[in-house]
Amino acid sequence: MQRIYFISDVHLGADPPAEEQDRLERLLAFLNVIREQGADLCIVGDLFDFWFEYRHVLPRGSHRVVTALEDIVHRGGCVRYLPGNHDFAIDGFFSRDIGVTIEQQRAVFRHDGKTFYVHHGDGLCPRDTGYRIIRGILRNRFAQWGFRWLHPDIGFAVARIASRSSRAYTASKEYGAEDGMLEEARKRIAEGADFVVMGHRHRPEMVRIANGVYVNLGDWITHFTYAVYREGRMELVSVKDGAPVILDSF
């Protein structure tokens, strides 16, 4: 049965190219494994620290990752992409030009007799009222139309400052034992999901809930973690020290 890989919070472009070269090479090696296996991939938000599609401009430094995703699709794999709170401004490029399936807000699908519920995780914390307001403004079509009139060099410079602050806030936030993501996982599992997969927190974990499993994917900045479903089981894996190490499995 075909494997499904899940990854989130890579935040490509967060650092100068020379500083994030190692992260990029690890990511490309990971994507190459998926391509060679003919497996599926689900990107659970924030692949890029910032993404915005001008009509004729793509972010510099993204071409190798875009090509790797296109290769997975051409090899027969399904690539699903859920925009996160940093790369939410994805428009038609990925779906139109390279065949990626864009899933807004959430993805629910069946595979191998199992139901998967996937959500980036942002906006689920009940105490994040301020973020929810900002989220609505940033995702407004009129606001994005206005941003498009900025020269890309100016627009990306402004976005990097905002992204840096947002990333630091998310990584340091204490969600509490009963955070909104865990509650959302309980709700979806009670409704019949076998696996609930999220990101956003930058802290990898796997929790058994009743007859289902909740997975938070961690990140590709500190933990270098991902999840893979195969043969009826979900594994949480780290490649921080090179070779893949299974952290947990259900």
CATH number, domain with residue 229: 3.60.21.10
Widest distance between CA atoms in the chain = 51
Res. 220: pLDDT tops 70 = yes
Q: Confirm if 21 and 212 have CB atoms less than 8 A apart.
A: no
- Per-residue model confidence (pLDDT) at position 130: 47
For 171-205, b where at least 16 C-beta lie within 10 A, e where not — what string?
A: eebebeeebbbbebbbebbeeebbbbbbbbbbbbb
**pLDDT level of residue 224 (50, 70, 90 thresholds):** very high
Q: Which of 87-96, 129-138, 144-153 is the most confident on average?
A: 87-96
The helix (run of H) or strand (run of E) holding residue 185 is helix 180-190
Res. 170: pLDDT tops 60 = no
Q: Which residues contact 240 (CB under 8 A, 6 or more apart)?
A: 223, 224, 225
CA distance 149 to 198: 33
**pLDDT level of residue 56 (50, 70, 90 thresholds):** confident
Mean pLDDT confidence for 111-122: 95
pTM of the predicted model as reported, rounded to 2 decimal places: 0.86
Burial grade of 121 (CB within 10 A; 0-12, 13-18, 19 or more):
buried
Sign of CA dihedral 108, 122, 238, 240: positive
The helix (run of H) or strand (run of E) holding residue 95 is helix 93-98
Closest C-alpha to 170, from 198, 131, 119: 131
Structure tokens at 91: 């428009």
Structure tokens at 72: 């997975």
**pLDDT level of residue 172 (50, 70, 90 thresholds):** low
For 24-62, b where at least 16 C-beta lie within 10 A, e where not — what string?
A: bebbeebbeebbebebbbbbbbbbbbbbbbeeeeebeee
Residue 243 lies in domain: 4-249
Burial grade of 220 (CB within 10 A; 0-12, 13-18, 19 or more):
buried
Closest C-alpha to 229, from 51, 5, 1: 5
Domain total for the chain? Answer: 1
